[in-house]
Amino acid sequence: MAHTGVAELLAAIAEGGGPPAHVAVIMDGNGRWAAEHDLARWEGHREGMAAVRETVEGSLEVGLSHLTLYAFSSENWGRPEEEVSALMGLLREFVDREKEELRSNGVRVRVFGEMDRLSAGAREAVRELEGHTREAGRLQLNLAISYGSRQEIVRAARILAARAAAGEIRPEDIDEGSLAGELYTGGWPDPDLLVRTSGEMRISNFLLWQIAYAELHVTDVLWPDFGRADLYRAILDFQGRDRRFGRV
């Protein structure tokens, strides 16, 4: 099915019962793509913006309700200052370039992570993008920026501990539901499918709680080369899985 066209892939997905509700993507390979094209790393990130657009358009076309993209991890702050600065600038560029089309296509954008670590300009871009698309309801696009899953879980535990210390809840009443509700993703459906590009076989501190029963799909395609056909192949792979959630 490697050379099957987009229309045929869409038809196969419809025949197989339709798409999952929520797909999450670890967008990996920008730096490697840039190196292969003898470009600076930040230019690989810029090229990756085109893959974001292609993936969003493909998600709309196939009928996803939630798409979550891992844009910038907490660990990425340790990268060279020049690369981090370029990434913050690309966030502003993405907002300026895409906000109108996202809203007109019914895409609501939610951004989650440690927003206080972003530059003032980047925080303003995030607020602008979320506000501009607030009324859209066809697809929820979640962007994980300055995000780490372990940090997210610690944050949720601290919130619950503070509530317990204040007498608002009893420690014995804390359960999976209450902890999940304090995560950045509280109220969203967990991902059904996690896609990772560039062939790396690791989770990279992404949605550790939320992907407990997600199906995993790893492709060797580098993120800037990822297109809607690659998304559809991942969904077809998902449709072929036998999801038992720990049961027989």
CB within 8 Å of 156: residues ≥ 6 apart = 179, 182, 183
Spatial separation of the C-alpha atoms in residues 16 and 52, rounded to whole Å: 25
- Helices 228-239 and 41-62: crossing angle, nearest 10°? 60
Q: Distances from the Cα of 203 to the Cαs of 61, 74, 199, 217, in angstroms? A: 27, 14, 12, 11
- At residue 80, φ and ψ (nearest 5 deg) are -55, 140
Spatial separation of the C-alpha atoms in residues 41 and 35, rounded to whole Å: 7
Q: Mark whether 28 is an active-site residue.
A: yes
Q: Mark whether 30 is an active-site residue.
A: no
Spatial separation of the C-alpha atoms in residues 4 and 192, rounded to whole Å: 24
One-letter amino acid of 8:
E
> CA quadruple 111, 212, 29, 227: dihedral positive or negative?
negative
Out of 30, 76, 173, 237, pick the active-site residue: 76
Report yes or no: 130 and 102 within 8 Å, Cβ to Cβ. no
Spatial separation of the C-alpha atoms in residues 125 and 194, rounded to whole Å: 27
Residues labelled as active-site residues? 28, 76
